[in-house]
Amino acid sequence: VLRESERRFRSLLEAGPDAVVVVDAAARITLVNAQTEAVFGYPRGELVGQPIELLMPERFQAAHRNRHAGYMTAPRVRPMGDGLELLGRRKDGSEFPVEVSLSPLVTEEGLSIIAVARDITERKRAEAALAARNEELRGMTQQLWQTAKLATMGELAANIAHELNNPLATVSLRVESLLAQTPAPSEDDRRRALEIIQQEVERMGALVAGLLQFSRRSTHQISTLDLREEIDRTLELIHYHLRARGIVVLREYPPDLPPVQADRQQLR
């Protein structure tokens, strides 16, 4: 039975999409899977028996030894270096961003630690590209407002609409690319965040259309709206902004809250 359990464990280990490294209480590697070889560039024969610090930059190794000792006093399932930017080191010395999850494993030989590592290089590149585009959009918005003093409201609306159309298209394509690259299901939270970004891009597109209508003296899109739904939806769209600032929103609705006649974009 023990051999069969060990065989199943090793089969699951090899089938995993991420690098999996098992270390003993002394932080020495006892087992790795094939993905570890692919990610870090070492054949497993060169890893087994080596300290786990071999897979991280030298400048972090001393600190990690202290953290490992602390973890062994109260082992539990948790991410490694929560809130820190972690880096892995390949055999050729190159470094790359990585996410690591830790889990304790009790065997006949004693306590071991399972470390699951994921290379997040592509995700970081995509996030950096999106952040650069957002910064470009902020700069463009500032320039537009600087010229607002010399423009009438109609001219300003037309300028904003035309200036935002091209970067909006670029941002939309970038977000679609991010969504296509995001793995599932372990990336559910990040995928949800990207879906909200996509919805915000669509909302900005609607605002551009509204600005063009305003510049042509067109009427707003008035419809009957349920305030509960509109408030809940708006809070969902800005959920990540609120959470990042530690803001908690409490809301209560009266039972006789009536619908309203309004333009949805203006109301939000």
Q: Output the pTM of the full model.
A: 0.50
111-124: per-residue pLDDT in tens? Answer: 889 999 999 888 88
pLDDT at 162: 62
Q: Is the pLDDT of residue 66 over 50?
A: yes
pLDDT confidence bin for 166, thresholds 50/70/90: low
Compute the C-alpha angle 72/75/79, nearest 5°: 110
Calculate the alpha carbon distances from 179 to 126, 129, 190 in Å: 10, 14, 9
- Which strand (E) or helix (H) includes residue 91? none
Higher pLDDT, 92 or 172: 92
2-28: per-residue pLDDT in tens? Answer: 566 667 777 777 877 889 999 988 889
